[in-house]
Amino acid sequence: MQYEMIQQVMNCVSYAIVVVDTNCIVTNMNNVAMDFLKRHDRAAVIGIDSKFILPIATPFIKQGLASEDFKNGTGRIVKKGAELFFEITPLIVAGVLKGAVISLQKPSRFEELAVELSSFQEMAITLQAIFDSSSDGIWVTSGDGIVTNINKASENLNGVKAGKVLGKRIDVIVKQGFVDVSVSKEVLEKKRQVSMLQNITKTGRQLLCTGTPVFDKKGTLSMVVVNERDVTELLDLREHLKTAREITEKARKEITSLNMLELGKGAFIAESKSIRRLLGSALKLSQLEVSGILLLGESGTGKSLMAKLLHQQSPRASGPFLAINCAAVPEQLFEAELFGYEKGAFTGARETGKAGLMALADGGTFFLDEVGEMPPSVQAKLLKCIDEKEFTPLGGSTPKKINCVIIAATNKDLEEQVTKKQFRKDLFYRLNVFTLTMPPLRERVEDIFALATAFLKKYNERYGKFKTFSPKSLRTLQNYSFPGNIRELDSLIKKGVAVAEEQLLDNYLEQSLNGAEGGEVSFERGASLQEALDKVERDILIEAKKTCGTTREMAEYLNTSQPSVVRKLKKHGLNHSK
431 and 290 co-located in one domain: yes
The CB density around residue 488, as the number of other CB atoms within 10 Å, is 19
The pTM is what? 0.49
If asked whether residues 296 and 435 sit together in one domain, one would say yes
Do 70 and 45 have their domain in common?
yes
CA angle 234, 237, 242 (to 5 degrees): 125
Q: What's residue 259's pLDDT?
A: 45
Same domain, 404 and 323: yes
Task: Decide: helix, strand or coil at residue 208.
Answer: strand
Residue 567 falls in which region: left (phi positive, over 0), alpha (psi -120 to 50) or beta: alpha
Residue 366 to residues 65, 327, 482, 573, Cα–Cα distance (Å): 117, 16, 30, 36
User: Domain check: are 325 and 474 in the same one?
Assistant: no
Least Cα distance to 425 among 436, 411, 414 occurs for 414
What CATH number should be reported for the domain holding residue 286? Answer: 3.40.50.300
Distant-in-sequence, close-in-space partners of 443: CB < 8 Å, separation ≥ 6:
272, 274
Contact, 473 vs 452, CB < 8 A? yes
Instruction: Tell me what pLDDT residue 256 has.
Output: 45
Q: Looking at the domain assignment, is residue 577 inside a domain? A: no
In this structure, is residue 461 part of a structural domain?
A: yes
Same domain, 315 and 432: yes
Indicate left, alpha or beta for 559 from its phi (over 0: left) and psi (-120 to 50: alpha).
left
Q: Are 283 and 257 in contact (CB under 8 A)?
A: yes
User: Which of 387, 407, 439 represents a domain boundary (last residue)?
Assistant: 439
Q: Say what the pLDDT of residue 527 is.
A: 58
CA neighbours within 13 Å on the CB side: how many for 72? 6
273 and 360 part of one domain = yes
Nearest to 155 by CA among 208, 203, 213: 203
Identify whether the C-beta of residue 311 lies closer than 8 Å to the C-beta of residue 406: no
3-state secondary structure of 279: helix
The answer on 99 and 165 residing in a single domain is no
Does 273 lie in the same domain as 263?
no
Provide the residue-wise pLDDT of the chain in tens; the chain has 578 residues: 566 777 777 777 777 888 999 999 998 888 888 887 888 888 888 889 988 888 888 898 899 889 888 888 888 888 876 667 788 899 888 888 889 998 887 766 555 555 565 666 677 677 667 777 677 888 888 888 888 888 888 788 877 887 778 888 888 877 877 777 788 888 888 889 888 887 777 777 788 888 888 888 888 888 888 888 877 767 666 777 777 676 656 555 554 444 444 444 445 677 788 888 888 888 888 888 788 899 999 888 888 888 988 898 888 889 999 998 888 888 878 888 888 877 766 666 666 678 888 888 889 999 999 998 888 888 888 888 888 888 888 777 788 888 889 999 998 888 999 998 889 999 899 998 899 999 998 888 888 888 888 888 888 898 888 889 888 888 888 888 888 888 888 888 888 888 888 888 888 888 888 763 344 445 555 556 677 777 778 877 887 777 677 787 777 777 777 888 888 888 888 876 65
Cα torsion angle, 479, 485, 488, 494, sign: positive
Task: Give the length of the chain.
Answer: 578
Please say which residue of 110, 144, 175 terminates a domain.
110
Question: For the chain, what is the domain count?
Answer: 5
CATH number at residue 161: 3.30.450.20
Rg of the chain (C-alpha set) = 53
Considering the domain boundaries, does residue 119 fall inside one? no
Give domain status of residue 444, yes or no. no
Q: Tell me if 408 sits within 8 A of 295, measured CB to CB.
A: yes
576 belongs to a structural domain? no
CB within 8 Å of 211: residues ≥ 6 apart: 183, 184, 186, 187, 193, 194, 195, 224, 225, 226, 227
503 and 489 in a single domain? The answer is yes
Q: Does a structural domain hold residue 127?
A: no
Give percent helix, percent strand, percent coil of the chain, each to the nearest 5: 50, 20, 30
What does the pLDDT read at residue 296?
93
Q: Domain limits at 262? A: 239-267
Amino acid letter at 189?
E
**Residue 447 domain flag:** no
Q: Under a CB-based contact definition with an 8 Å cutoff, are residues 91 and 19 in contact? A: yes
Is residue 449 one of the residues assigned to a domain? no
Angle, helices 232-267 vs 273-288, to 10°: value is: 120
For residues 512 and 546, membership in a common domain is answered with yes
128: phi then psi, degrees, rounded to nearest 5: -65, -40
* Domain's final residue, options 77, 94, 110: 110
Pair 289, 321 in one domain: yes
Q: Residue 366's pLDDT is what?
A: 92
